[in-house]
């Protein structure tokens, strides 16, 4: 089957990311092209030096440990409003949630928690959502399939490192204004960036503000069956929801440079989100009861504020040695209020529920890295990282004026500390082979009331790349790594959260203070072929073994259905990922072919969880297959580029426990864009997202003894349209 996929695979291309190129460059311009006129008089002639930044594919080719880099052109191409929408087109990356609505970012088809997402190489502060960060503020995104020692190995599926515009001092000032429409609701957005320099001090300032306004419509059905599979009673729900609010971010940066080359940079990052949600749900029951129709109104408001400041010093220590020290402080506070009113013909069923929550977290991070050359083309680096966070969560739940969780108290306090030390050695063995060896130790301690959870992981890492042929356009990569997945803080806290409809498929949730981290060994191999025009063809195969697998289990306790995380025994997963980026000229072998860029990827995944019966005893939320096909066409006589991308994930089943079966519907998302360049510094972009507007269906079934329940959900999705104006000064 794999051979068949390879033979039928359609190839595709990435556009070069040229930065600082002159507007009048001809087709023969090179990376360092110096043009001058010989001086025949006293007049000083003008000398023009034109340079280009290496494109994303060239940077990828140079890496010893496999890394895909997405530069500004790829980030801005479709006018995406979220990072998730940018990443969904990359090989092996999928999104949770409904099509066209973003969602948590996942690699290798695995579910939430297996992918590590970093902001400037650091873990984002608690409560901060990367999905609300504007792509306009990002310099590049690094996608790493296997861990490296200088980053946390809490990354079984891989790591996505989002780099803000830290080097925007070298870039021109720019302004971007956008106006989007989602199901008839307007969503404006503004982004601006400027910079300057005075003596030893250079500074930059970028910021964005955007409004979101969306609506959702869902239809749910809940059926209780007898042992023979015949319906006993049903509940049909129709829900209309709306979400609106404002998101804003500010990213200043100050950099001092001394005569000896040492630098000190301070980069604060401010983030604010303020929003509200309202929904109305109408429930109908059969057979008809006293509460044959139930009306539920829900209102909620939320606010989130984050501040993160990172100071970074880089300098020389002796000849050829480099020392980097960093110190960070972060603060996050979120507040939410919600009101739920349920009314029925039977007034005894009427309920009013009020929930109030406030989460405040404060943290400190520090780190250091010492790099020194051992020999020609060999560099050794050692370093450490430390992190200390305090989190205090205050919650109140009142149902008809009574607090059902009064015995647990309103507050939960958690302190988390993390310490890591690492060493890595990278060496070029001639022009044909480069090797990387690293080791990292991480220890984590979580304290909540009288419960202490401690864990530590030692992670060795080996990466190697072989460059074949005289032109070294063919690469073979191989990696053996150790990684882990730490429990989420919320999964360690025993305080429960109550469900409005307590059923096996919508239970209360609670944590498990004794939860252990998952431990994994991984093997990655890849073949890459780089084309003359800057494209790449690649095929990769990976495998992972996972011990102490974490999975939620639902039990009936004291009259309520309760879900809590537990450790299972063992799981395995492996997959194949195919990718291609090229121009039509490469595909046809004709230099005069149409200026069409093609890119495509196809990923297929398998997994097995021991202790759970098959046939679909897969890792939680792991898709079977995902694929992308994209085209970009540049008109020769017009300053116009048009393109599109089709993202497809077919439906799949999942046996999540011995009692619970889930079926996730397929996703088909088509995005289109057009870019008109009025000048090298001014352009207008029109983007259409989720053009197909396909509905999304999920099913959740629970069977245990006399209990048999099936829940089906059908969510409507809608196309979106965005127009943006971009100008650089």
Q: Tell me: the pLDDT tens digits for 197-248?
A: 888 899 999 999 999 999 999 999 999 888 788 888 898 999 999 999 999 9
SS3 assignment for 191-250: EEEEEEEECCEEEEEEEEEEEEEEEEEEEEEEEEECCCCCEEEEEEEEEEEEEEEEEEEE
Domains, the chain, in order of start with CATH, read 2-11+172-728 (2.40.170.20)
C-alpha–C-alpha distance, residues 246 and 272, integer Å: 8
CA 486 to the chain's CA centroid: 17
C-alpha–C-alpha distance, residues 520 and 156, integer Å: 7
Helices (H), 676-722: none
Low-confidence ranges of the chain (pLDDT < 70): 1-54, 126-128, 131-132, 166-171, 288-291, 345-349
- For residue 512, what are the CA distances in angstroms to 193, 331, 417, 515? 45, 26, 19, 6
C-alpha–C-alpha distance, residues 579 and 536, integer Å: 8
Contact 391, 489 (CB under 8 A): yes
C-alpha–C-alpha distance, residues 684 and 678, integer Å: 8
Transcribe 52-121 into DSSP letters: ----HHHHHHH-SS-EEEE-HHHHHTT--SSHHHHHTTSTTEEE-SSTTS---EEETT--TTSEEEEETT
pTM of the model: 0.84
Structure tokens at 368: 């250091």
C-alpha–C-alpha distance, residues 376 and 630, integer Å: 42
C-alpha–C-alpha distance, residues 94 and 102, integer Å: 10
Contact 381, 371 (CB under 8 A): yes
DSSP state of 7: H
C-alpha–C-alpha distance, residues 103 and 90, integer Å: 15
- Within the chain, how many helices (H) and strands (E) appear? 6, 37
> Which among 246, 254, 300, 253 has a CA at the least distance from the CA of 271?
246
pLDDT at position 346? 63
Q: Bridge-partner residues for 301, per DSSP? A: 276, 337
Q: Tell me: the pLDDT tens digits for 422-440?
A: 999 999 998 899 999 999 9
């Amino acid at each position: 089957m794999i051979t068949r996929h390879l033979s039928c695979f359609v190839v595709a291309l990435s556009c070069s990311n040229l930065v600082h190129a002159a507007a009048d460059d001809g087709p023969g311009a090179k990376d360092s092209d110096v043009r001058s006129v010989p001086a025949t008089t006293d007049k000083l002639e003008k000398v023009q030096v034109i340079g280009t930044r290496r494109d994303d594919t060239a940077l990828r080719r140079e890496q010893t440990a496999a890394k895909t880099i997405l530069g500004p052109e790829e980030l801005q191409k479709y006018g995406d409003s979220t990072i998730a929408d940018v990443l969904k087109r990359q090989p092996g990356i999928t999104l949770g949630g409904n099509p066209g609505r973003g969602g948590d970012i996942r690699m290798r088809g695995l579910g939430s928690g297996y992918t590590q997402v970093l902001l400037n190489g650091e873990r984002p502060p608690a409560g901060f959502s990367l999905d609300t960060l504007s792509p306009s503020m990002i310099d590049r995104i690094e996608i790493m399939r296997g861990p490296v020692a200088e980053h946390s190995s809490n990354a079984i599926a891989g790591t996505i490192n989002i780099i803000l515009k830290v080097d925007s001092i070298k870039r021109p000032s720019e302004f971007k204004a956008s106006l989007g429409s989602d199901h008839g609701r307007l969503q404006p957005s503004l982004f601006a960036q400027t910079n300057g320099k005075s003596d030893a001090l250079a500074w930059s300032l970028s910021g964005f503000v955007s409004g979101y306004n969306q609506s959702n419509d869902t239809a749910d059905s809940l059926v209780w069956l007898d042992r023979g599979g015949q319906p006993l009673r049903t509940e049909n729900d129709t829900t209309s929801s709306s979400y609106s609010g404002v998101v804003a971010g500010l990213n200043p940066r100050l950099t001092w440079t001394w005569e000896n080359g040492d630098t000190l940079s301070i980069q604060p990052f401010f983030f604010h989100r303020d929003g509200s949600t309202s929904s109305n749900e109408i429930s109908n029951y059969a057979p008809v009861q006293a509460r044959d129709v139930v009306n539920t109104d829900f209102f909620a408001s939320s606010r989130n504020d984050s501040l993160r400041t990172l100071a970074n010093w880089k300098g020389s220590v002796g000849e050829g040695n480099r020392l980097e020290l960093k110190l960070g402080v972060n603060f996050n506070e979120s507040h939410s209020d919600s009101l739920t009113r349920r009314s029925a013909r039977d007034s005894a069923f009427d309920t009013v529920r009020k929930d109030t929550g406030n989460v405040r977290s404060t943290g400190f991070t520090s780190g250091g890295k010492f790099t020194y050359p051992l020999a020609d083309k060999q560099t050794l680096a050692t370093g450490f990282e430390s992190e200390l966070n305090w989190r205090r969560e205050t919650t109140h739940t009142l149902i008809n004026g009574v607090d059902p969780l009064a015995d647990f108290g309103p507050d939960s306090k958690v302190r988390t500390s993390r310490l890591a030390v690492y060493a890595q050695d990278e060496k070029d063995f001639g022009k044909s082979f480069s090797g990387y060896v690293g080791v990292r130790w991480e220890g984590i301690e979580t304290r909540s009331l009288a419960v202490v959870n401690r864990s530590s992981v030692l992670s060795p890492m080996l990466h190697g790349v072989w460059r074949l042929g005289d032109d070294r356009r063919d690469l073979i990569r191989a990696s053996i790594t150790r990684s882990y997945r730490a429990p989420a803080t919320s999964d360690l806290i025993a305080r429960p959260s109550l469900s409005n409809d307590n059923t096996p498929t919508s239970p209360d949730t609670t944590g498990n203070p004794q939860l252990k981290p998952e431990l994994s060994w991984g093997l990655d191999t890849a073949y890459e072929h780089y084309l003359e025009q800057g494209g790449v063809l690649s095929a990769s195969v990976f495998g992972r073994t996972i011990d102490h697998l974490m999975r939620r289990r639902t039990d009936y306790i004291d009259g309520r259905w309760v879900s809590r995380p537990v450790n299972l025994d063992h799981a395995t997963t492996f997959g194949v990922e195919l990718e291609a980026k090229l121009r039509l000229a490469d595909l046809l072998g004709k230099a005069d072919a149409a200026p069409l860029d093609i890119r495509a990827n196809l990923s297929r995944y398998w997994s097995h969880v021991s202790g759970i019966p098959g046939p679909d005893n897969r890792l939680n939320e792991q898709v079977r297959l995902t694929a992308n096909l994209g085209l970009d066409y540049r008109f020769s006589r017009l300053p116009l580029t048009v393109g599109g991308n089709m993202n497809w994930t077919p439906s799949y089943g999942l046996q999540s426990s011995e009692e619970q079966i889930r079926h996730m519907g397929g996703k088909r998302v088509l995005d289109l864009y057009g870019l008109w360049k009025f000048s090298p510094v001014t352009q207008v972009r029109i983007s259409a997202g989720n053009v197909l507007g396909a509905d999304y269906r999920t099913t959740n079934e629970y069977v245990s003894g006399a209990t048999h329940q099936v829940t089906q959900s059908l969510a409507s999705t809608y196309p979106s349209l965005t127009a943006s104006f971009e100008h650089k000064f």
